[in-house]
Structure 1
């Protein structure tokens, strides 16, 4: 995701496109006169309930107030979006407004001259956002994107299934998590749902374990040294293998996607698994993927990724990120104003009220509707260290290799010692 949103947010549901008008062309043919007709090509991954209609309604509202602006909207499933964006950027023709998670991918787009420096455009209003949310979109002191959502990855669990298995409290240690998996299996319950096909959900486990074993600085040191072949990162793989060896995942998990009807989110939303490790968008995707379209409701709980015995990391060191938008190099003048409109406090409240978005605008935090969202926001607010998703924080080639290598470990094809060597080999080239 992956993500949801899924990346994560709201990541990865297969959904139908919805959108607005398809009229004039965009790009460098757009007139500079702000009152002249302008078309904004907008690509986003909120392609299902609950955010799909929110974005569509906001687009219609903006259009009504700015009749000279046309919004050509393309809602895309997460993996389809990434593939289409890669093709567009390789051709030097990015959309005007598009989903971004910041980090290394955005930096590569900046270095290639594909996105606009919007520092001056957002200066009058950017102070209303949480500073931590803006960090992944700030490169060399300049702002190239704006986040509308911020959060963290953690374990979402089915309270009823935990009770059925005799688990009375959420695990706080890795050993405790493994014990919970054993109890769930003994009760005939699938412990964990995982989208093995999409790869990015599995990388969450190894990344978090690296942070819990080596501390939040372990991953940054690996990048700086161009060396992931360290005792702490091997140990992270060893801990993950402990989990994999318990066979905790649903049947067919290696071929499962995140947001498909038989995927990870659906397994959780339909009560077919007790846990999933996912970001802040998880409840919304579980609901929209479930047969009832309601998900687990108050049966759903949340707990942070547990500590590892003897490890250097703490539960206050979090892994995650948010969702945002960058503006393409040839975007018309109205694009920055439309982005400002999306990030207004009122519109952030509308997004937050869906339960699918944790708002980045401070004033909108009061609109978070459920206890899990509030708990997650409180946990994030007290963080002592933060790590962006590795497949977004790092150069794309390195992030992809981490996803691939962790997938090989989870599938049983490579050992913890082997995957860090493979990752290091790519790290030396970027």
Structure 2
């Protein structure tokens, strides 16, 4: 398989756009973040670090929500254990109500050694004293200055380490596009409408959709907000201050949502995430809005699927079509861990070129560490093309509180079933975003 150095991707991505630390696993990190209570003792003082890799055997417990990456992470951690025989890592995975369970673990003083989350969620956990500040750990220097700036809180703390960078856009089946006579992925709403008409004329279902998993619909809103904003970070700050998020561009963006929702497969209302991936992989739908994290699962279903990845068009100006690209979820060490030294040994390895390369090769993701070389694939190449052209925007959802991400699920399900208007959606999301 052809190898490609993704250093250019990381550097250009962070220089060319104001990205925000955060991201998603296969549930998008949309489970409600906990309203956490302060830890009983200051960060780093609640537990004594364990013996190092050369000491007594240690088993780290990692509580994660990315079920679709479980096998890849298990294989990665086995490689770490081969080099550090006294440290093993056990995974606990919950991709349905992750933050609710984590909140229960906090309340019952039953914290794992390692947790994961969005930037905002880890910030809340860190400020409450539940996870360690890693800012002074030497391995943080393995990240580029641009990446570190996205990991750092306003008061100089770093609560987690990201392994990869991801993108959000539309997967499309190249064979079905060719069959319908579509020569290139649409860059405008008019071109998207024309492509849909050509697909339907050839009895090809244009879009897959997973309405039963509300987080997938929430993501269609998040990309619409980001893809129509002049400045996503400024919009987020204004929303938190109670200002309206409505704009002519955002209103026009809902026309794209209508094209996706109105041309989805007949079983869309009952499909879940996995079903939607199967439809795309098996060539039963031509397009699916999803994140890069889904690629490995799609290829597992059909390794011969010929796919491309494009930016979602929200207007009739081709220059407006930009791909959502962001640093992905981060991993953190809890202050209650009795094995902090061993956990930091793992984090140190994951941020080396070797460890980060193994992790991203297994997960089929884009490395967050500069200079790491992993196997290329068509979707990563497409993301790279947008990044190098500086046609990317940051994700909006990582700038929201956890409750807003959850509320967006029901709001967008209401929009799909025509129980809410675009005006309702914009008003309700803005109100939720403004909650303290």
Q: TM-score of the superposition, structure 2-length normalised?
A: 0.80
State the match for 1:266 in structure 2. Answer: 278
Q: What CA distance in whole angstroms lies between the structure 2 residues aligned with 1:234 and 1:316?
A: 14
Q: What CA distance in whole angstroms lies between the structure 2 residues aligned with 1:241 and 1:206?
A: 8
Seen in structure 2, the aligned counterparts of structure 1 residues 47 and 231 have a Cα distance that, compared at 3 Å, is closer
The structure with higher relative contact order (CA 8 Å, sep 6+) is 2
Q: What CA distance in whole angstroms lies between the structure 1 residues aligned with 2:91 and 2:198?
A: 47
Residues matched between the structures, number: 396
Seen in structure 2, the aligned counterparts of structure 1 residues 329 and 171 have a Cα distance that, compared at 3 Å, is same
Q: What CA distance in whole angstroms lies between the structure 1 residues aligned with 2:349 and 2:223?
A: 35
Q: How far is 1:323 from its partner?
A: 3.0
1:68-91 deviation digits (Å, cap 9, x = unpaired):
4342222x2532544433432454
State the match for 1:59 in structure 2. Answer: 77
1:262-315 deviation digits (Å, cap 9, x = unpaired):
x21111111111111112222211123x2xxx3444x1112222251369x733
Seen in structure 2, the aligned counterparts of structure 1 residues 234 and 385 have a Cα distance that, compared at 3 Å, is closer
Q: How far is 1:176 from its partner?
A: 1.3
Gap runs ≥5 in structure 2: 1-21, 32-44
Q: What CA distance in whole angstroms lies between the structure 1 residues aligned with 2:245 and 2:365?
A: 36
Q: Secondary structure at the match of 2:371?
A: helix
- 1:148 and 2:163 correspond: yes
Seen in structure 2, the aligned counterparts of structure 1 residues 370 and 272 have a Cα distance that, compared at 3 Å, is same
State the match for 2:91 in structure 1. Answer: 73
After TM superposition, list the pairs within 5 Å mapping 1:366-377 onto structure 2: 366-377=373-384
After TM superposition, list the pairs within 5 Å mapping 1:26-41 onto structure 2: 32-34=50-52, 35-41=55-61
1:88-127 deviation digits (Å, cap 9, x = unpaired):
245454321123232x222221222211101112xx3333
Q: TM-score of the superposition, structure 1-length normalised?
A: 0.81
Decide whether the 8 Å contact of 2:163 with 2:368 is kept in 1: yes
Q: Secondary structure at the match of 2:172?
A: strand
Decide whether the 8 Å contact of 2:188 with 2:321 is kept in 1: no
Query: What is the RMSD of the two structures over their aligned residues, measured on CA atoms?
Result: 3.1
- 1:97 and 2:114 correspond: yes
Seen in structure 2, the aligned counterparts of structure 1 residues 241 and 282 have a Cα distance that, compared at 3 Å, is closer
Q: How far is 1:144 from its partner?
A: 0.6
Gap runs ≥5 in structure 1: 13-26
Seen in structure 2, the aligned counterparts of structure 1 residues 429 and 77 have a Cα distance that, compared at 3 Å, is closer
Decide whether the 8 Å contact of 1:271 with 1:296 is kept in 2: no
State the match for 1:5 in structure 2. Answer: 25
Q: How far is 1:132 from its partner?
A: 5.2
Decide whether the 8 Å contact of 1:241 with 1:409 is kept in 2: no
Q: What CA distance in whole angstroms lies between the structure 2 residues aligned with 1:321 and 1:340?
A: 18
State the match for 1:327 in structure 2. Answer: 333
